[in-house]
């Protein structure tokens, strides 16, 4: 028998919830969310490059390219403006800023050109706040099983304040009610709206991308070249390219699987799979990580830094052994 495992960010005090047995979650693609969460975000491009100003006819150009047919833009005759769009600039900005979530800002902003001119700046502001808030780069991360005894947890994982809190409330890392990163209830409302909407196909298609935008947004990171996983606590790194040759011979596994295979902790050794050699007490449990582009390696070489150690070979060898026996 195995046990349920929960991925936790100790610094942000949040979790992805229970992922089931390790024999399932390690191989079903779940760890891929770690790649996105650990990416080190670059600064956002300018608003005009990310959220374009309204251009009459742009939607028709999109339809022409997407559908392969001729689409013509017909300028609409002048109509009387709604009183809503006649509000002052300050009131208009306040309305956008008071909306609950970024999806609502999108939906309001695309109703007309005037509202888009206001709304895109509010969308940009929220994106700038959302990306670092959703990032786990540099945070302490651990994946705990059902049965972690507080007395077994290595000293470096929890702060003295955290130890006192768990002891006082009689919680373990597994039972502590960390807020869960989950899908918003608005997801279902959005799907129902799109199914019943009379909006043109292209509008509907683009609106679908707003579903759970908060949880699926990818940080703007330059990974045109290979990625590098860094263990910031131990000054170790794993090159993505080290996985490539092995991936060609066996089941796929990425840097997310590498992290998960090293950060598990439980007092119970039952993991529900053939490989049991210490995976329930991962040596990287509670460490800090991030993912950067391979350009970082070049700066490391230029600076002559020797404090970082490349452990790609030994880590990939361990991951390959887990896959081979499972």
Mean of per-residue pLDDT scores for the chain: 77
**Domain assignments of the chain as residue spans, ordered by start:** 4-41+136-180+221-324, 47-134
Distance CA 141, CA 262 (A): 10
Strands 309-310 and 289-293: unpaired
Q: Considering only residues 301 and 185, tell me which one the structure prediction assigns the higher pLDDT.
A: 301
pLDDT band of 272, cuts 50, 70, 90: confident
Instruction: State in Å, rounded, how far the first CA of the chain is from the last one.
Output: 15
| pLDDT exceeds cutoff 60 at 94 | yes
DSSP-derived secondary structure letter, 37: H
Q: How far apart are CA 232 and CA 158, in angstroms?
A: 16
> For residue 83, is pLDDT > 90?
no
Tell me, what's the pLDDT at 203?
Answer: 59
41-65 tens-digit pLDDT? 656 778 887 777 876 555 555 545 5
Burial status of residue 76 (CB atoms within 10 A of its CB: 0-12, 13-18, 19 or more): exposed
> Are residues 218 and 35 in contact, defined by beta-carbon separation less than 8 angstroms?
no
Percentage of residues in the chain having pLDDT higher than 70: 71
Phi-psi region of 201 (alpha: psi -120 to 50; beta: other; left: phi over 0): alpha
Question: Which residue shows structure tokens 């707003």?
Answer: 210
pLDDT digits (tens, 9 = 90+) for 210-254: 554 544 554 445 555 688 999 999 999 999 888 876 664 455 678
List Cβ neighbours of 126 (8 Å cut-off, separation of 6 or more): 102, 105
Number of CB atoms found within 10 A of residue 135's CB: 19
| Of 124, 66, 74, 69, the residue nearest 97 (C-alpha) | 124
Instruction: Give the dihedral sign, CA 267/272/276/279.
Output: negative
């Amino acid at each position: 028998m195995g046990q349920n495992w929960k991925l936790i960010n100790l610094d942000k005090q949040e979790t992805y919830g229970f992922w089931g047995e390790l024999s399932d979650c390690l191989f079903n693609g779940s760890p891929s969310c770690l790649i996105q969460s650990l990416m080190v975000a670059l600064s956002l491009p300018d608003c005009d490059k990310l959220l374009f100003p309204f251009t009459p006819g742009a939607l028709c150009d999109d339809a022409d390219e997407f559908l392969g047919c001729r689409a013509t833009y017909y300028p609409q005759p002048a109509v009387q403006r709604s009183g809503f769009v006649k509000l002052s600039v300050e009131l208009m900005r306040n309305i956008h800023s008071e909306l609950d979530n970024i999806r609502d800002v999108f939906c309001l902003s695309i109703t007309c050109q005037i509202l888009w001119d206001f709304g895109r700046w509010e969308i940009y502001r929220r994106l700038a706040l959302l990306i670092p808030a959703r990032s786990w780069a540099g945070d302490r991360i651990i994946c705990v099983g059902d049965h972690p005894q507080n007395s077994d947890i290595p000293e470096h994982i929890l702060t003295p304040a955290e130890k006192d809190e768990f002891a006082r409330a009689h919680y373990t890392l597994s039972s502590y009610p960390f807020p869960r990163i989950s899908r918003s209830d608005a997801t279902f409302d959005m799907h129902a709206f799109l199914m019943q909407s009379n909006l043109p196909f292209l509008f509907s298609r683009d609106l679908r991308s707003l579903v759970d935008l908060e949880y699926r947004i990818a940080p703007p990171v330059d990974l045109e070249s290979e990625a590098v996983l860094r263990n910031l606590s131990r000054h170790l790194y794993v090159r993505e390219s080290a996985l490539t040759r092995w991936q060609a011979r066996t089941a796929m596994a990425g840097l997310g699987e590498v992290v998960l295979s090293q950060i598990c902790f439980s007092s119970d050794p039952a993991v529900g799979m053939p490989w049991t050699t210490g995976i329930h007490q991962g040596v990287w449990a509670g460490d800090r990580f991030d993912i950067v582009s391979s350009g970082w390696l070049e700066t490391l070489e230029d600076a002559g830094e020797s404090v970082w150690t490349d452990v790609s070979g030994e880590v990939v060898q361990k991951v390959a052994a887990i896959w081979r026996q499972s």
